[in-house]
Structure 1
Amino acid sequence: MPQPLRTSTAFTVGLTAAVLVGVVLLHPSSQMESVRRLIGLGQERRLPAPTILDRGGTFTFASTQPGSDDPVGWDPCSPVTYAVNPAGMPEGARPMLDRAVARISAATGLAFEDDGDTDRRPFTGTLVPLGGGRPVVIGWGDADEYPGLTGSVAGLGGAAAEEGAQGRRYYVTGGIVLDVEVFTTANVQQRPRVLEAILVHELAHVVGLGHVAEPMELMFVDNSGQVELGPGDREGLARLGSVPCG
């Protein structure tokens, strides 16, 4: 009689342990995510974190955590998925867009995933649309559809955040709209570096940088010639790519 009792007890203990492991692995709560990270089972970054150096320069964040100076950023353990609406896209713009995405990815350590073409229109607000509004949509438009594209404004970009694990806010969607009067086939051919810089500027907004008053930074509010990321741009982007995983 004792032997069956020991076998039954061992089976019960094993079953209980299996259930506990299942709870730790699968439970979606932020508390269980913390436990998973403590035991080495949490998410991992898709790309290495960027090196944060005191490069000088000027940068600002588009949004910070409530009650903190820490920036709101994208979850570095998940890809930033984006789709392109090709309506109005000039010839030769797609390779330029790919290069701009690669530059922002390298500066932040965020992985971008191309979700292909879409017929959805870009959304550049700060509130997450009903239904989640993913992925980031990049497209072309005019001032009639997007009143912000007036005067010398060549593009609009932004992202919307929601609360994730451990109470941190993370960007989950966003969009970029580019002015069809600026992004023409002729300008793509004649001014490729300038147009690519506009794309990098708007993508930097999407990942969380704000405007600055320093003309040597690409995020200068009235940029009219800077085509490379400045020291403050790079510092801000590195910090945005180094937020904790969600």
Structure 2
Amino acid sequence: MAGSGWSRRRAERQWQRDLLREIRAMETTDEGPDGGRVTPVRGGLPRAPRAPRRGRREPVAHERRRTVVTVLLTTTAILSLVLLNVGPGSAQVRAWLGFDDRFGTQVDGDGSGSYEFLATRPGTDEPVGWSSCEPIQYVVNTDGAPGDWEELVDDATERLSEASGLVFEDRGTTDDRDFEGRFGLGGRAQPVLIAWADEDEVPGLGGDVAGLAGPISRDDGMFQRYVTGRVVLDKEAFEEIESVRGGDEQREAIVLHELGHLVGLAHVDDPGELMHPTTETTELGPGDRSGLAILGDAPCG
């Protein structure tokens, strides 16, 4: 009896060591293209050992339960090492093991209406998007902004988050007006910059353009995903629209339209959709919602 129990425990300890070695091997990182990091996956995990048979005698019920509980507790402890890992590739390992790290609530779209994406993953129809396991952080430069800028941004981000499941995180205000260089020291992505400007500062705001926006992506060798971006709104257009009837709804619709670009939607020809170039409606259309639901379901990356 004692000898068999000792052998079983030794087998379990060996299995634990093998499992931990395999997990560490999967978390090994290699240099990828553009300085990114790649997490290779190397085969399956070793199977748990079976208790040795002892002649024709079957183990009694309480012995069987004790063995199963020991294995389950040991497995949970080892998987915790993966879940707590914050190094490159940890999200891919957790997803591979079946854990859902979604930051917000998944939205189910019905696929109706017209929608287009700014970019798709090579060889697929899947759009490039933001990680669904992290919030989209943003800062606001208030120079030239309307007095109710905070309400406009809060309402628009809340509406887009509800339609997509993506979560926006307000990181406060900033003096930064670098719309192009959204990477800091060591190539770290900076929060999305939301600001008001004129065509002298941003030539693209000339003519009837009331806003510009776009995400910036990064490819780590396994996934291409958006990691930062900018939203630039025409301060003169916002001043003019504010004084007309229904101006508040129109200004918020412009912010929401540009946030649609930020998360990955492109223009469509249907004037019933908010992503129509002229923004003739102030509400999200069926195609807008279908596209946003798909973008909100992007992999963690």
TM-score (norm 1): 0.84
Which of residues 152, 158, 161 is equivalent to 1:105? 161
Partner of 1:184: 239
1:36 equivalent to 2:94? Answer: yes
Partner of 1:238: 293
Partner of 2:275: 219
1:160 equivalent to 2:161? Answer: no
Secondary structure of 1:182's counterpart equals helix
Deviations 1:148-177, CA, capped at 9 Å, x for gaps: 001110000000111247x22110010001
State the Cα distance separating 1:34 from its structure 2 match: 4.3
Which of residues 79, 101, 106 is equivalent to 1:49? 106
Which of residues 151, 158, 170 is equivalent to 2:207? 151
Deviations 1:99-123, CA, capped at 9 Å, x for gaps: 0000111111011111111111252
Partner of 1:20: 21
State the Cα distance separating 1:222 from its structure 2 match: 2.2
Q: Distance in 2 between matches of 1:73 and 1:102?
A: 18
Which of residues 113, 132, 139 is equivalent to 1:83? 139
Identify unmatched segments of 5+ residues in structure 1: 1-5
Alignment of 1:131-150 (within 5 A): 131-150=187-206
Contact 2:91 2:300 in 1 (8 A): no
Contact 2:210 2:254 in 1 (8 A): yes
What amino acid is the match of 2:104? Answer: L
What amino acid is the match of 1:228? Answer: E
Partner of 1:3: none
State the Cα distance separating 1:49 from its structure 2 match: 1.0
Secondary structure of 1:181's counterpart equals helix
Call closer, same or farther: CA 1:34–1:92 in 2, change over 3 Å: closer
Call closer, same or farther: CA 1:193–1:21 in 2, change over 3 Å: same
1:229 equivalent to 2:284? Answer: yes
Partner of 1:63: 119
Identify unmatched segments of 5+ residues in structure 2: 1-6, 30-38, 42-89
State the Cα distance separating 1:184 from its structure 2 match: 2.5
Call closer, same or farther: CA 1:71–1:210 in 2, change over 3 Å: same
> In the comparison of the two structures, how many residue pairs are matched?
239
Q: CA RMSD in A?
A: 3.3
Alignment identity in percent? 40
State the Cα distance separating 1:36 from its structure 2 match: 3.1
State the Cα distance separating 1:131 from its structure 2 match: 2.6
Call closer, same or farther: CA 1:79–1:25 in 2, change over 3 Å: farther
Q: Distance in 1 between matches of 2:217 and 2:186?
A: 13
Call closer, same or farther: CA 1:21–1:85 in 2, change over 3 Å: farther
What amino acid is the match of 1:20? Answer: R
Q: Distance in 1 between matches of 2:284 and 2:185?
A: 31
Contact 2:121 2:128 in 1 (8 A): yes
State the Cα distance separating 1:139 from its structure 2 match: 0.4
What amino acid is the match of 1:38? Answer: W
What amino acid is the match of 2:229? Answer: G
Alignment of 1:108-123 (within 5 A): 108-121=164-177, 123=179
Q: Which moved further from structure 2: 150-159 or 22-31?
A: 22-31
Higher RCO (C-alpha under 8 Å, 6+ residues apart): 1
Call closer, same or farther: CA 1:160–1:12 in 2, change over 3 Å: same
